[in-house]
Structure 1
Amino acid sequence: MKNPILKAMLLVVSLFFFSNFVAAQKATQKVVIKTFLHCDHCKECETCGQKFKTEMLKIKGIKMYELDEKAMTFTIYYNAKKTNLQAIKQGISKLGYDADEVKANAEAYESLDGCCKA
């Protein structure tokens, strides 16, 4: 490239896209939330499994989640610009599950299958 103006414009455009990429990466946060599962098959359960598949990603800001049944934890990847940790915990509570110190919503807990309750 012999044209210095073209080089400068290309550099500015590249920096713009790179900075937006970096900003988007910083907005994504990861958190591990302790829960309590009463059965060993929650992911496959007719009630719980469907709730996880359809409702977890409806909680504002959650991009992805993983449920570790053995460790009884949710690993949540979320957009920190759209939500915060407390809102996520409240959302999990509304599904009928504990989320760290936030206890499960009683009404939502009662709607779970019998095998998923203590």
Structure 2
Amino acid sequence: MKFFSTLLCTLALLLSAQFSQAQTTPAAKAKNSAESLKIKTSAVCDMCKARLEKALAYEKGVQSAVLDVPSQVLTVTYRADKTSAEKLRAAVQQTGYDADAAPADERAYTRLPECCKKTNAVHGAE
């Protein structure tokens, strides 16, 4: 009987140690929280808005992406433990748009419709 009592106490001790290690630390919780990033783009129309928001929706860790067309600013809410600001800017470039000071991927830019190109005079861009 004493053996079973000792065994039961040992199991209880092991389980409590296991659960205490499984709890998330405050630093890990902070890392999982959402961050917001504003990226100045070369987007000029509502088609650009749809294209960028859809492309960013497929990026790992992105919770939302909203483009304000008049200001050309893309606001991305993302989880910092899943992606980074550099990866998000690269995703914008690979979609065919400038991301802050970094120019768009040339090949992706050439595939954009004419209305989405920054040299289009109809939208008053460059």
TM over 0.5: yes
Using structure 1 for the length normalisation, give the TM-score: 0.68
Matched residue, 1:67: 67
> Which whole-Å CA distance do the structure 1 matches of 2:30 and 2:58 have between them?
20
Structure 2 SS opposite 1:94: helix
- Higher relative contact order, structure no. (Cα contacts within 8 Å, ≥ 6 residues apart): 1
Structure 1 match to 2:101: 101
Q: Give me the TM-score of the superposition, normalised by structure 2.
A: 0.64
The 2-side partners of 1:108 and 1:63 are apart by: 24
Query: Alignment partner of 1:83: what SS?
Result: coil
More helix by share: 2
2:38 aligned partner: 32
The one-letter code matched in structure 2 to 1:114 is: E
Aligned-pair RMSD on alpha carbons? 2.4
1:51 Cα deviation from its structure 2 partner: 2.2
Q: Distance in 2 between matches of 1:68 and 1:53?
A: 11
SS of match in other structure, 1:66: strand
Unaligned runs of 5+ in 1: 1-15
Q: What's the % identity of the aligned pairs?
A: 28
Point out where structure 2 has 5 or more consecutive residues left out of the alignment. Answer: 1-22, 120-126
Based on CA coordinates, which of the two structures has the bigger radius of gyration?
Answer: 2
